[in-house]
Structure 1
Amino acid sequence: MSAILEVKDLKKYFKVGSGMLHAVDGVSFEINEGETLGVVGESGCGKSTLGRVILHLLDNTGGQILYRGEDITNVSQEKLSALRREMQIIFQDPFASLNPRMTVYQTIAEPMEIAKGYTKSQIQERVSEMMDTVGLAPRFVNSYPHELDGGRRQRIGIARALVLSPKFIVCDEPVSALDVSIQAQVLNLMLDIQEKFGLTYIFITHDLSVVKYISNDIMVMYLGQMVEKAPSDELFAHRYHPYTQALISAVPVPDIDHKRERIHLKGELTSPIDPQPGCRFASRCMYATPECSAREPELEEISPDHFIRCLRARELNGL
């Protein structure tokens, strides 16, 4: 299976008053066509920034982005407009990402109008088709966002992302603002759409139970860096990084007789502003040694398709 997207040593720094904020710092991965890469981590770890840099909603500071083998790191505005048809995004908050002055029809039709080259009847037909695909009844075609519940609003966002027939979609916490019962409906809808249209997803979330359900591979981020990446089942069976272990220990278990030992992280967060050499998780890691604070760990493949950034991983896990 061929990789639809390759990211090599991608960086995004923001200038702040006291230095440079390293939001994304040397992230590398690839995604095969038709699969889903789940990206997890705490708020502020760089998940959403990573997705926005890949889509050129933010300019990169360094690194390389390849789409279908073509370098799209720095492209012309004309080329970028063409890429917009192939690469789309579903935003986290369906209310904030929709224009309150636009009806359902206008919102879904807008990408086609911006892209140009479509007749009015073609747009009407496509909007109707997309509403049916995402489960929006025709009676909502002239409704406004405030008249709909969160689940229907997110379905509008999904339809808008699909209307130009993209092949790659960044899903930026698309269910975190929804009720649990609605989350399941939207997740199942996204899986059905992926299978129907052969879509590739980057699925950004902080909910590991959600990411396990929808992802082929999972990447764990901490303060702008990838600290662990593996196939979904492999990561839950063998989590080698102390941070991943702490995240998974917090996932609720639907069994009152089974108690999972919760790992509580202590210590201060390392500043992402001009970070010093060393492991960025060292200040919160119970296994850290002085070497961890002094030497930057490299990303290594500890077993087939299982990557980790930790100086003590082999020692701690008997590898």
Structure 2
Amino acid sequence: MQKKEVSKKILVTGGAGFLGSHLCEALLRSGHRVTCLDNFSTGLRRNIQHLENAKGFDFIEHDIITPIDLDVDQIFNLACPASPPHYQADPVHTTLTSVLGSLNLLELARRRGARIFQASTSEVYGDPYVHPQVESYWGNVNSFGPRACYDEGKRCAETLFFDYHQSHGVAIKIARIFNTYGPRMGPDDGRVVSNFIVQALKGDDITVYGDGSQTRSFCFVDDLIDGFLRLMASPETFTGPVNLGNPCEFTIGALARHVIELTGSTSRMVYRPLPVDDPRQRRPNISFAMRELDWQPRTTLLAGLKKTIRHFERLLANPELEFAEVA
């Protein structure tokens, strides 16, 4: 008989966001006490509305650039806008969230003896010269381009995590997240999957930046959350960073065609100039995660897109509908 996991007091920052709300649900299902913290810069209250009366769930409206003291056993730091339109809207605050916010949470972890998880990103690899990307690759990042507030903020956060681990013995876990999609994304999310689906469902032109030959690897949200939980539960000696993403690579043009076909849309693809520093290739090497965490994604792109399209169909039909009801 499998031993039941001991209930823990867990803080999820950015918990009202797309990924954070799914993580809060998964932790509550496992019997943990969850404190969800969010400043609603991009998170939405309706993402967590269905959890408000759940046993063991609490919510705090707070910005992590301001210190906070809580009694916690574990911390999942997911607080930071993750799509270019959102993190570029206030680049200074984005950088502060990654750097000062991480510092505040690491101090909390040090004081409380808590294990802490950092949601880092594949953006630390920049526009990579190594393909697929492995954790040992140092990356090719423009330190002052329009994406730098996010890319360099996350890189600095990783440095802080390792410094606290080495200097103060803080138990750390670092995940480098690749493109993720699924139910509970917002229609104004700004990332390619949500953009294409919303445009297709509305019958608008589908905007493809560049010639559509640049590639991405898309991981369904349920698979990613499973990776989070496995990483946090891994032995203390395993710190990461570890790539979490789907190694199946698709061109942006192929993604647009899949969305048009699955939605039955009459939308046409139109092409616009590629944004500055937009990566030409993005695909994780997940050998490390497979070996150390026994983890790999199981949801195919077509299966995940169908679930995500249903989410947006219901959301566009009723914008006030709680995301829990459309997931």
Same fold, judged at TM 0.5 (above) = no
Structure 2-normalised TM-score?
0.30
* Larger Rg, first or second structure (1 or 2): 1
TM-score (norm 1): 0.31
Which structure is higher in helix share?
A: 2
Larger relative CO (CA 8 A, sep 6+): 1 or 2?
A: 1
- Larger strand percent: 1
